[in-house]
Amino acid sequence: MLMPERTKYRKKQKGKMRGKAHRGSSVAFGEYGMKALERGWINGNQIEAARVAVNRKLKGNGKIWIRIFPDKPITQKPAETRMGKGKGEPEYYVSVIKPGRILFEVKGVDKQTAKRAFELASYKLPIKTKFVERHKGWGDDRWN
């Protein structure tokens, strides 16, 4: 399971997920990318499951980049616990995803293989995604 080695604070507030992603919204490393169309939380297990699905389809060819990391702790109180008594303990970590964020990138494989790999990976994620290509111009692929 993906999780940070150490953090400054053990617990975080829930926060808001308003707006669109500005950082990490264009294909930067590979030739093809997988872009989020919805906002949500993706936990470490879901990221790992998607990564495994992509790697299985690529069969060792090409290179994959994971552009998200679960650094937000989500707490839960034990079952059948009375109200009060403070915030629960961290149970798992999530990555906050806004629309337009690039989740994965690949390079070194043909378009059809990359598209199918990202399609298989999208089944493992709780948000809608789409396949995007790298464009030559600066910032051209920001919202498409």
Query: Which residues have a Cβ under 8 Å from the Cβ of 26 and sit 6 or more positions away?
Result: 102, 139, 140, 141, 142
Tens digit of each residue's pLDDT, the chain (144 residues): 778 888 899 999 999 999 999 999 999 999 999 999 999 999 999 999 999 999 999 998 999 999 999 999 999 999 999 999 999 999 999 999 999 999 999 999 999 999 999 999 999 999 999 999 997 665 555 555
pLDDT at 141: 52
CATH H superfamily, domain 32-79+87-133 = Ribosomal protein L16/L10 (3.90.1170.10)
Domain ranges across the chain: 32-79+87-133
Q: What residues pair up with 64 in beta bridges, in sequence order?
A: 106
In one letter, which amino acid is 97?
Answer: I
pLDDT at 143: 54
**Global pTM value:** 0.88
Question: What whole-number distance in Å separates Cα of residue 72 and Cα of residue 3?
Answer: 9
